[in-house]
Amino acid sequence: MVDLSARADRLEEFLAARGLEAVWFAAPNGFAWLTGGDNVVDADASHGVAAAGYDGAFRVVTSDAEATRLADEQLPDSVAVESFPWHAGSLADAVADRSPTPAAADFHVPGFDRIDASRLRQPLTPDDLDRYRDLGREVAAAVETVCRNLDPDDPEYEVAAGIAISLSSRGVNTPVVLVGGAERAQAYRHFVPTDATLGDYALVSVTAERAGLYASLTRTVAFDPPEWLRRRHRAAARVEATALAATRAAATGDLTAGDAPGTAGDVFEAIREAYAAVGFDDEWSRHHQGGAAGYANREWIATPGGDEPVTEPMGYAWNPTVAGAKSEDTYAVAADGIELLTKTGRWPTHAVDAVAVDGVPSETIERHAPVVR
């Protein structure tokens, strides 16, 4: 259950700083962040079928076709639901008619400011983290169960289907399921599954979502592993460990001069140095490296000079790749430690040392290792 009092405190500050009377969320992740509910009927739509708002109280506006279902199944009792006739106009018009002004929204409402809600969702609250732990365990369990049963002759798309079914049975959505067999995992960074068979080894990368929270992970399964796989995987894992250590240092102000938190760009520089140190200088340029996670696949992606603040406690999913190898999990990073969320305790790990980078503390982090079958 979402802690509405924590949401209210954050939104009161936001409204006061912007000189606004109300703010509204109809993007699915914004709606889920505010209420804990799901406003999606058509996954292809630009926004959901209901808008959640705050104007000193929590309100939801939706059509009369949706109001009873949302109140019964998706929303806390304390959130008032207001409906309009489904044929009488759009959701945006209904919100505009009912909201005090000036106001802002994360979707187009005539006369309202448009906002990017990402920074409002950072950092995560204790109840967010509790639900994130549950999600991380379930995603890892589903993916690892499928991966333990793979064979070299399995087509990539069948593996992807098995993962999607396993997660769906847990009430988890799968916006991203990548499965790359030996040939395609080396050729591409985004190995969208095809009918190619796995061959000597496979990379399985998943981003899963439930109640607005997103968890990402990658697992490596080898049948006849190439001689270079273990070295490249460990190199990617050391870059990931460096990114995690740099994230905590940035969040606590240890990575920058003074006490101000560091930025995404600061962490990116540590990542780039780590690639050079492990002997793969240019690999960072071939794929994004990940970033903050929570109520989005990535709330932000680290780039050179990126100015997004690194907050804590917050979810982070770094995903370094090295020519056919990848290391990725979702972590909660806080001032007092780094917590692996996408874990079951039943997949082998190895201890990985972060690369020595100025301002980044020495860290040894247990990372998931390739499984050889």
Please say if the pLDDT value at position 259 is more than 90. no
Tens of pLDDT, residues 202-255: 999 999 999 999 999 999 999 999 999 999 999 999 999 999 999 999 999 888
3-state SS string over 94-137?
Answer: HHHHHCCCCEEECCCCCCCEECCCCHHHCCCCHHHHHHHHHHHH
Q: Which long-range contacts (CB under 8 A, 24 or more apart) does 97-102 make?
A: 98/59, 98/61, 99/21, 99/22, 99/24, 99/53, 99/55, 100/21, 100/22, 100/55, 101/21, 101/22, 102/19, 102/20, 102/21
- Nearest-Å Rg of the Cα atoms of the chain is 22
Look up the domain containing 39 and give its range.
Answer: 4-121
* CATH label of the domain that carries residue 115: 3.40.350.10
Tens of pLDDT, residues 136-147: 999 999 999 999
* b (16+ CB within 10 A) / e for 262-277: bbbbbbbbbbbbbbeb
What CA–CA distance (Å, rounded) separates 274 from 270? 6
- Are 212 and 285 in the same domain? yes
Angle in degrees, 0-180, between the axes of helices 264-277 and 229-251, rounded to the nearest 10: 150
Angle in degrees, 0-180, between the axes of helices 126-147 and 156-168, rounded to the nearest 10: 140
With a threshold of 0.85, does the pTM exceed it?
yes
Query: Tokens 């505010």 map to which residue?
Result: 34
- Are 99 and 167 in the same domain? no
Q: What is the DSSP string of 205-238?
A: EEEEEETTEEEEEEEEEESS--TTHHHHHHHHHH
Mark which of 71, 95, 121 sits at the end of a domain.
Answer: 121
- Are 160 and 224 in the same domain? yes
In this predicted structure, what is the pLDDT of residue 359? 87
Is residue 338 classed as helix, strand or coil in its secondary structure? strand
- Are 239 and 368 in the same domain? yes
- Are 208 and 152 in the same domain? yes
What CA–CA distance (Å, rounded) separates 27 from 33? 10
Tens of pLDDT, residues 9-61: 999 999 999 999 999 999 999 999 999 999 999 999 999 999 999 999 999 99
- Are 136 and 212 in the same domain? yes
Mark which of 121, 152, 179 sits at the end of a domain.
Answer: 121
Tens of pLDDT, residues 67-125: 999 999 999 999 999 999 999 999 999 999 999 999 999 999 999 999 999 999 999 99
Using alpha carbons only, give the angle 210, 215, 216 rounded to the nearest 5 degrees: 140
- Are 65 and 163 in the same domain? no
Q: What is the DSSP string of 43-59?
A: TTSSS-SEEEEESSSEE
Q: What is the DSSP string of 246-297?
A: HHHHHHTTTTSSSSS--BHHHHHHHHHHHHHHTT-TTGGGGS--EEEESSSS
- Are 114 and 152 in the same domain? no
- Are 257 and 348 in the same domain? yes
- Are 29 and 141 in the same domain? no
Average pLDDT of the residues of the chain: 96
pLDDT band at 257 (very low <50, low <70, confident <90, very high): low
**Tokens representing residue 70 in the block:** 């949302």
Mark which of 95, 121, 147 sits at the end of a domain.
Answer: 121
